[in-house]
Structure 1
Amino acid sequence: MKLKRSGCLRGKALAEKTTNQPVQSAATGFEASEKSIVISCPKENVTSKFLAPYTTFSRIHEKSITCFDISSGGGLGVSTSTDGTMKIWQTTNGETRRILEGHIYDVNCCKFFPSGLVVLSGGMDAQLKIWSAEDASCPVTLKGHKGGILDVAIVERGRNVVSSSRDGTARLWDCGKSACLGVVADCGSPINGIALDVADSAVELGSPEDPPSNREIGTKGKLLLLAREDKKLQGVSLHSRQPVFLFGGSDAFNCCAFLSSVHILAGSQDGNIYQLDTRNTQTPVQVTRRSGAPVLSLMPFREGYITSQGDGSCFIIQQDLDRVIELTEPDSDPVYKVALWEKLIYTCCRDGIVRKYLLSNL
């Protein structure tokens, strides 16, 4: 187990000597086991836990893993890499099940449909592709963007999907007809990340100027978040295409996520994590900065969230910020993405390793 940026050499030494049984030291504030160290300061009511991987997979790809996802059943993973491949693999042992071939140039994003049997991907070739996880066939290709696709979102069960691109647009697609249903937003700036969820009833989403297609399924009441390169976080109504809010940050936004129907998160290139209330986005609820490294991914977790950053750090942040769990081992290699399935957290990293962390003791 590796500890970084903590300065707690005594804690590391203690961890190296422990077995599966916890060891408590009241004098030092350390508690250690084979896979974790807890450092607490009772006077300040602050606790930090360092958690080592339960297991690692180093042979899925030969180079950096840039994006991945875990199926709804937890048995399969899909990942993209700078080695030019996209693969489906078993989460139990990392063995490759399928190789998905068809994109030209790099594949930037991949995501399982809710069924766990179908995969959506987007690449620098400006194409979206839909794949069968069972036989690696690609029955659907969606074309219309003029720049590389940077992120994707799936609307409910997947009759419709949303994509964002370097061309500055976010588009809504009909998977059954392989057609674009419309441009949801045209920002004039690359959209690095998107998130989609139901908006709070107090948020005004507007009405469509033109009657929507009957091929739109599940778009009503949905708010689409756009993390933009031009330092803006934008909210757009997916159904009406009307802008909801526009928030200016300190640097380019890389990612965004919903904490709830009211509260949202956005991570910037300079390391800031903004928490906003969608009912009033003029002033952030909170701005958190763990380090100056770019925030690369965000996802909700229990009463808080998980963030990964460009310096290799990956934190589970509790809502009160007095309890922080750090997922260790990547050192200074960027952690590009985090995925969660039940009590397991998976991360993918520039070093080409998928790490699996067991959260049964949290």
Structure 2
Amino acid sequence: IPPFVLDAAPKRGPTSVKERKTRAGGGGIKMAVPLRIQSDWAQALRKDEGEAWLSCHPPGKPTLYGSLTCQGIGLDGIPEVTASEGFIVNEINKKSIHISCPKENASSKFLAPYTTFSRIHTKSITCLDISSGGGLGVSSSTDGSMKIWQASNGELRRVLEGHVFDVNCCRFFPSGLVVLSGGMDAQLKIWSAEDASCVVTFKGHKGGILDTAIVDRGKNVVSGSRDGTARLWDCGRSACLGVIADCGSSINGVAVGTADNSINLGSPEQMPSEREVGTESKMLLLAREDKKLQCLGLQSRQPVFLFIGSDAFNCCSFLSGFLLLAGTQDGNIYQLDVRSPRFSSVNCLIVLIIPGITLKVQVIHRSGAPVMSLLSFRDGFIASQGDGSCFIVQQDLDYVIELTGADCDPVYKVATWEKQIYTCCRDGLVRRYQLSDL
């Protein structure tokens, strides 16, 4: 039985926007009106009569331009700032400023970095992660290095050497003591964060590894590669447990999540290996270069859906057991709801073929810049894009939180620990932001 295929790409002829919404089961397109601010606004507004530019970008309308001016510094060290016509300063402190553009019903809280680490790498930083305890960071760079550092101050702790060519992705295992990495050398490696030793190397891919996911506590891991395959690995025996998908197109992003009870993941055709741990009830999401977002049962290897987007998918993430996020090269963020209201004992794949009963789709489009990373965060998500923007969307907030500092350089990856958010950027900097209570 073929998976439900939904084509969200713009077409001419009878497939209108209205028809596509119907096929997608409702949802629709949500357009967030973005506000932009000068990247170094916090420094610029620290001095008398200092200025910083502002802009509002309503879709399909001319851009509104404005400015902020510092009228003086208060006794508490917080600048007194006024906005030009059309913009309002709602609130300001040393590291944040909340701006509105009432005409376009746009509102954003801009956050400056709490601290910036400039000495970890010498070139563009392509990936980073923070350990479960919040004490350590790991990052990889186009300078050819992968390093472990103190998350509080950026102080170097370990250098992980062993990959040939660049390291594309790195992440901590849930223990916070072990690191998983994937490189252009088609190798997947596991490292000790304590002594920097490489304890396991997985070989089998025929192209560079672009992303990884850890299953449960980490006895199994998943990798996605330029060779078009997603593989499941046994960490204990450093062996491949199977090719989960072979799609003939580069897999740019992978995510593993626990499926909602209403989603039928199908049954495996063969008895799963006893070395598979925690794969049952898990969905595997693949962001593909050929504009397809693929979802399948991790243990069953059976398809759940295949979604066709507007451009290459760069990244994907789970918000919950039924809400999925995926970002494309042309700046679209798709939110998909895969619950089936008419779920019964009938095979879910058959149910999915019936039009309009599942896969509700919402699209957020703020700019045409590539969506580089997506991360579930509290009651929403954090997204970063190729134009330097990085923003937090929360269900119960009527404004967007913008993480500033990157000046048009792509923000490649975001990691969080409690109220701290870390980003890595093409400018070679790791930025740490401190969130107050949302």
Indicate if the aligned counterparts of 1:14 and 1:32 stay in contact, CA closer than 8 A: no
Specify whether residues 284 and 293 from structure 1 end up closer, same or farther in structure 2 by C-alpha distance, changes over 3 A only: farther
Q: Give the percent of matched residue pairs that are identical in Structure 1 and Structure 2.
A: 71
Give, in whole Å, the separation in 1 of the partners of 2:279 and 2:54. Answer: 44
Indicate if the aligned counterparts of 1:172 and 1:183 stay in contact, CA closer than 8 A: yes
Partner of 1:14: 70
Specify whether residues 202 and 100 from structure 1 end up closer, same or farther in structure 2 by C-alpha distance, changes over 3 A only: same
Partner of 2:370: 294
Partner of 2:16: none
**C-alpha displacement of 1:17:** 4.6
Partner of 1:164: 224
Specify whether residues 252 and 284 from structure 1 end up closer, same or farther in structure 2 by C-alpha distance, changes over 3 A only: farther
What letter corresponds to residue 14 of structure 1 in structure 2? C
Aligned to 1:78, which of 138, 141, 152?
138
Indicate if the aligned counterparts of 2:177 and 2:192 stay in contact, CA closer than 8 A: yes
Partner of 2:265: 205
Whether 1:108 and 2:168 are equivalent positions in the alignment is yes
RMSD: 2.2
Give, in whole Å, the separation in 1 of the partners of 2:138 and 2:361. Answer: 35
Give, in whole Å, the separation in 2 of the partners of 1:248 and 1:16. Answer: 53
**C-alpha displacement of 1:303:** 1.7
Give, in whole Å, the separation in 2 of the partners of 1:348 and 1:5. Answer: 24
Greater relative contact order, per chain length (Cα 8 Å cut-off, separation 6+):
2
Aligned to 2:93, which of 33, 38, 43?
33
Aligned residues: 361
1:53-202 alignment, distance < 5 Å: 53-202=113-262
What letter corresponds to residue 332 of structure 1 in structure 2? C
Give, in whole Å, the separation in 2 of the partners of 1:150 and 1:15. Answer: 49
Indicate if the aligned counterparts of 2:53 and 2:66 stay in contact, CA closer than 8 A: no
What letter corresponds to residue 286 of structure 1 in structure 2? Q
Indicate if the aligned counterparts of 1:257 and 1:300 stay in contact, CA closer than 8 A: yes
Gaps spanning 5+ residues in structure 1: where?
none
Indicate if the aligned counterparts of 1:151 and 1:192 stay in contact, CA closer than 8 A: yes
SS where residue 84 of structure 1 aligns?
coil
Give, in whole Å, the separation in 2 of the partners of 1:211 and 1:273. Answer: 37
Q: Compare CA radii of gyration and give the structure with the larger one.
A: 2
SS where residue 55 of structure 2 aligns?
coil
Deviation per residue, 1:187-217 (Å, 9 max, x gap): 1100000111101111110111010110000
Partner of 1:334: 410
What letter corresponds to residue 88 of structure 2 in structure 1? G
Give, in whole Å, the separation in 1 of the partners of 2:337 and 2:70. Answer: 42
What letter corresponds to residue 241 of structure 1 in structure 2? R
Indicate if the aligned counterparts of 1:15 and 1:33 stay in contact, CA closer than 8 A: no
Give, in whole Å, the separation in 2 of the partners of 1:291 and 1:35. Answer: 25
Indicate if the aligned counterparts of 2:188 and 2:203 stay in contact, CA closer than 8 A: yes
Whether 1:228 and 2:288 are equivalent positions in the alignment is yes
Specify whether residues 21 and 247 from structure 1 end up closer, same or farther in structure 2 by C-alpha distance, changes over 3 A only: same
Give, in whole Å, the separation in 1 of the partners of 2:393 and 2:80. Answer: 24
Give, in whole Å, the separation in 1 of the partners of 2:302 and 2:71. Answer: 54
Give, in whole Å, the separation in 2 of the partners of 1:84 and 1:17. Answer: 44
Deviation per residue, 1:264-298 (Å, 9 max, x gap): 11000000000101236875431011110000000
**C-alpha displacement of 1:22:** 7.7
**C-alpha displacement of 1:47:** 2.4
Partner of 2:379: 303
Give, in whole Å, the separation in 1 of the partners of 2:72 and 2:118. Answer: 23
Partner of 1:217: 277
Partner of 2:337: 277
TM-score by length of 2: 0.78
What letter corresponds to residue 173 of structure 1 in structure 2? W
SS where residue 285 of structure 1 aligns?
strand
Give, in whole Å, the separation in 1 of the partners of 2:210 and 2:104. Answer: 42
Whether 1:353 and 2:429 are equivalent positions in the alignment is yes
**C-alpha displacement of 1:14:** 3.4
What letter corresponds to residue 356 of structure 1 in structure 2? R
Which deviates more from structure 2 when the two are superposed, residues 29-38 or residues 80-89? 29-38
Specify whether residues 311 and 136 from structure 1 end up closer, same or farther in structure 2 by C-alpha distance, changes over 3 A only: same
Give, in whole Å, the separation in 1 of the partners of 2:280 and 2:184. Answer: 30
SS where residue 211 of structure 1 aligns?
coil
Gaps spanning 5+ residues in structure 2: where?
1-39, 42-51, 57-64, 341-351, 353-357
